[in-house]
Amino acid sequence: MGEHKRELQDVLFLTALQGLNYLAPLIVFPYLMVVLGAEMFGYIGFSLSIIQYLMLFVDFGFNFSATKRIAQSKHNYDELNEIFWSTLYAKLIFLLLSFFVLLIFAFGISRFQMYSQTMMIMFVMVVGNAFSFVWFFQGIGKIRVVSIINIISKLAILPLTFIFVKVPSDYTKASLILSLVYLLGGLIACFYLVKKKYIVSRVKPVKNKIFSEIKLSYPIFISTAVASIYTALFVVILGYFSNPIEVGKYTAVEKIVRGICFLILLPVTQAFYPKISSMSISGNVFGLIKKSLFAVSSIMMGAFIILYFFSDLIVSLLGDDYAGAEVLFKIMAFLPLIISAGGILGQLGLLAAGDERDKRNYQLVYVVAAVVSLISVLILVPGLFANGAAIALLVTESMVLLGMLWFNKKNLLYRK
């Protein structure tokens, strides 16, 4: 791994930053879970699921497609400039469309009108995220900048939670504070771009170029969109069949578990994605991918042990409103192992190192998993509520891992 010293340094650096990055949420979210109670935290959890869909729509897969193209063109200023502006214009179009979609959810569906206030407040997240420029910074090898911006934003805004959120009725204040983190991050990212003069000359909107970026991102968007069925849509379905208390329990446990997953997985994929994208043109990168898979899986085994065997202790810290959530922790304890392995094999093995056929295979895995997830969640949630959603999530993530293993089998077995 010595030849990848820069990327290893990035992984260690990003892991440390991710630790700081998650430190504030890991303090703030349990605080909100306790102070707001399961019901009011359920309002935030449900609204956040809708907002995550809108952020996914605005991102439209650019975090992979545009990142790869920028990594391969970062020494060609004119091409880099063209990719940047075409991608940004496309995101602005999707941002406007996402606002109209939000209005339909908030005021057009009677069952969801109780969540309308928090949904409208949290749309600020979508705006801020649209200007985070993760895809650009990662492509030019400046992913550390994104992590530093995230830390500054969270440390500056999230502590306000302890000042302004004191009782369950303060859930709207909590929603606003969470949203301002994204807005501040977007403002800092814009300022940094201008100050460092990464992009100087503005390119006028060219319809063909914009649609070209959209077309390149479309397969990845479909993959992430169908994947969101079992990340965000599960909460929406649970909210339809149950109540905010069940939503609050499920959201609380899922956030803790996914937070642990991404604490380790994100630094590895963010650091190595541009490197593997560049190396895939001329070099064999599968030995590096296998080493990354082994390292991440080893760490995630520790996460499984903590979540499974210490679930009672974790729930006791959350308070009486979350009684019974021990079962959710035990079900979801397997997810860090499954999600991290699937993430490495998919993002690095198929997207970064692969070709157009691998991109289609990546998409196919998530389409199949989405079908499985919809069937399982609609069968399990009406009777088992939050526990049913957790089981459906485990089944679906297992399907993703199996699919990624299948399409990576030749690379993993025969290529070094």
What are the pLDDT digits (tens) for 367-389? 898 889 989 999 999 999 999 99
CA distances from 298 to 17, 337, 341 (A): 20, 9, 10
pTM exceeding 0.75: no
- The pLDDT tens digits for 13-34 are 555 555 555 556 667 887 898 8
User: Distance between CA atoms of 342 and 352, rounded to whole angstroms?
Assistant: 14
Q: In this structure, what DSSP letter does residue 257 have?
A: H
Average of per-residue pLDDT across 288-314: 91
Amino acid symbol at 132: S
The arithmetic mean of pLDDT across residues 269-277, rounded, is: 77
Within 8 A by CB and 6+ apart from 217, the residues are 60, 61, 62, 64, 65, 66, 90
**Average pLDDT estimate for 229-251:** 83
Tell me what pLDDT residue 9 has: 62
Q: Domain segments of the chain: what residues?
A: 2-414
Average pLDDT for 385-397: 94
Q: What is the mean pLDDT of residues 60-83?
A: 81
**Percentage of the chain with pLDDT > 70?**
88
Position 415 confidence tier, pLDDT thresholds 50, 70, 90: low
CB-CB contact of 393 with 400 (8 Å): no
Measured distance CA(130)–CA(127) in Å, rounded: 5
Max Cα distance, the chain (Å): 59
The overall average pLDDT reported for the chain is 84
| pLDDT, mean of residues 337-356 | 88
- Residues 58 and 91 sit within 8 Å (Cβ to Cβ): yes
pLDDT digits (tens, 9 = 90+) for 176-225: 999 999 999 999 998 888 787 776 567 777 788 888 888 888 877 877 77
Could you give the angle at the alpha carbon of 342 between the alpha carbons of 338 and 343, nearest 5°? 115
Burial label for 133, CB within 10 Å (0-12, 13-18, 19+), is buried
Tell me the pLDDT band of 283, cut-offs 50, 70 and 90: low
Which whole-number Å values give the CA distances from 155 to 159, 177, 235, 350, in the listed order?
Answer: 7, 12, 28, 35
Reported confidence tier of residue 124, pLDDT bands at 50, 70, 90 = very high
| pLDDT of 229 above 80 | no
pLDDT for 2 equals 53
CB of 50 closer than 8 Å to CB of 235: no
Q: Which residue shows structure tokens 């502590």?
A: 159
- pLDDT at residue 367, rounded to an integer: 85
How many angstroms separate the CA atoms of 271 and 262, rounded?
A: 13
How many helices and strands in the chain, by DSSP H and E? 17, 0
Question: What does R_g of the chain's alpha carbons equal in angstroms?
Answer: 21
- The residue-averaged pLDDT of 268-279 equals 77
